[in-house]
Structure 1
Amino acid sequence: MNLAPYIDHTLLKATATPDDIRKLCAEAREHHFKAVCVNPQHIALCREALAGSHVLIATVCGFPLGAVTSEQKAEEARLSVQAGADEVDMVISIGSAIAGDWAHVQADIAAVRAATTGKVLKVIIETCYLTDEQKEKATEAAAQAGADFVKTSTGFGSGGATLDDVRLMARVLQGRAQIKAAGGVRTPADAEAMIEAGASRLGTSGGVGLVAGDQNTAGY
């Protein structure tokens, strides 16, 4: 399987330097990855490095905890779109989800959706912290709020994507939104299994190794 069109080539570490981001973009161009995923401060650099290519620029919002206000998330997303982001990966209010405040979870997502009109919105539900029932309700809230994708994980929590979680999300969504599996995609076999389970995007820092048929040891 050609995995490159599924990969969001990701570098979200606090220690990422401009040279690291340029390398990420060069790799994404070379291998024809779908997107790069970077922190907002690197959007302008990615625009420069990816000029003339078909690689999209994804960024994050309320990352990685999801614990800022809806207004702050919406403004962060708006500024990222203004800076040139094609896609925004937001983190839900995880504490609200655990508390069962689904009205707030959905309203929080809707605020960011309103700030990203015309762009792709991916909603990270951080499955490692949720029960299966909470995962189902979070996925439904994202769909109801107009998300384009529901995403499993930030890569900064206690666990990443699992096949069971991708299948659960696919069952809830029934095609209303796509699925991004992130974290824990270590081998080409892992990647293909996630796609078979229902993922149409893969978030990984080891995309180069995956397309070469190697194991991803990069940690995300």
Structure 2
Amino acid sequence: MPTERELAATIDHAILKPELTRADVDAELDIAAEWGVFSVCVRPSDIPHAVERLAGTGVAVGTVIGFPHGTTSTAAKVAETRQAIADGAAEVDMVVNIAALRSGFDDVVVADIRAVVDAADGHVTKVILETALLDDEQIERGSRLTEAGGAHFVKTSTGFAGGGATVPHVELMRRTVGADVQVKASGGVRSYADALAMIDAGATRLGTSGSAVILGEARRVDAGAGATGAVDDTSY
């Protein structure tokens, strides 16, 4: 069972809702710093501010590419990725071309992924499949194509498509990809129990806006008090 610190090292704290004001973003950045999560995942326009505010905290800044639908052109995703890296992003989470994946256009999907991986120039790249919109065959194939495209992670969800991570989907993704590709579970990870279930299923990174609740529960467990509570994590 992971300690609070070990669990914090798996969390990408999501700050992605379109309606968030600068004050809202700052409050979330401060939460991330307070709890010592691995990273924040912010809207692309928030990268420079997040990098500045989190300087010296040890919390990395990541962002999203082609978010949330994945239907922007490859050229647009490449430009967005290059700008994100130039602005200070350490990691990028790109949304797969969902329509191409569902259509069976595997060459298109791989080329799209590879272009973003190349544009990221060695920075960690995660590929969001949006599992709520896919059947098991498409999830398995999308995971294989993610690996073929050279990405570092295959990821379940944006949290904006009416569904999030499930244990069976995380297990399927973990079985499908090799040891060099990690799995990120995002969307619906609301509690300490949810986090443990995703890690047990094979996830090594968790996307959630409920970091304080999850890590607060972990702290109580570390102290022998047990875990209770959940958060409405509809944003990621």
- For the aligned pair, the TM-score class normalised by the smaller chain equals over 0.9
Q: Shift of the alpha carbon at 1:64?
A: 0.2
Map Cα deviations across residues 176-201 of structure 1 (whole Å, 9 max, x no partner). 21111000112111100100110011
Q: Shift of the alpha carbon at 1:35?
A: 0.4
2:22 maps to 18
Map Cα deviations across residues 24-60 of structure 1 (whole Å, 9 max, x no partner). 1111111110000111000011011101121110100
Q: Partner amino acid for 2:116?
A: V
Distance 2:63 2:233 in 1: 19
> Where does the alignment leave 5 or more consecutive residues of structure 1 unmatched?
none
Q: Shift of the alpha carbon at 1:217?
A: 1.7
Q: Partner amino acid for 1:123?
A: V
Distance 1:202 1:130 in 2: 20
The 5 Å alignment of 1:80-91 reads 80-91=84-95
Distance 1:70 1:198 in 2: 30
1:118 equivalent to 2:133? Answer no
Q: Shift of the alpha carbon at 1:74?
A: 0.7
Structure whose alpha-carbon radius of gyration is higher: 2
Q: Partner amino acid for 1:219?
A: T
SS at match of 2:234: coil
Moved over 6 A (4+): none
1:38 maps to 42
Cα contact 1:8–1:34 (8 A) shared by 2: yes
Q: Shift of the alpha carbon at 1:16?
A: 1.1
1:198 maps to 202
Q: Shift of the alpha carbon at 1:174?
A: 2.8
SS at match of 1:212: helix
Distance 1:142 1:216 in 2: 30
Give me the TM-score of the superposition, normalised by structure 1.
Answer: 0.98
Give me the TM-score of the superposition, normalised by structure 2.
Answer: 0.91
Distance 1:75 1:13 in 2: 22
Q: Partner amino acid for 1:215?
A: A
SS at match of 2:189: coil
Q: Partner amino acid for 1:68?
A: T
The 5 Å alignment of 1:166-185 reads 166-185=170-189
Identical columns (%): 45
Map Cα deviations across residues 77-112 of structure 1 (whole Å, 9 max, x no partner). 110000000000000100001100011001000110
Q: Partner amino acid for 1:148?
A: H
Q: Shift of the alpha carbon at 1:131?
A: 1.1
> Where does the alignment leave 5 or more consecutive residues of structure 2 unmatched?
218-228
1:67 maps to 71
Task: Identify the match of residue 139 of structure 1 among 131, 139, 143.
Answer: 143
SS at match of 2:45: helix
CA distance 1:33–1:93, shift in 2 (3 Å)? same
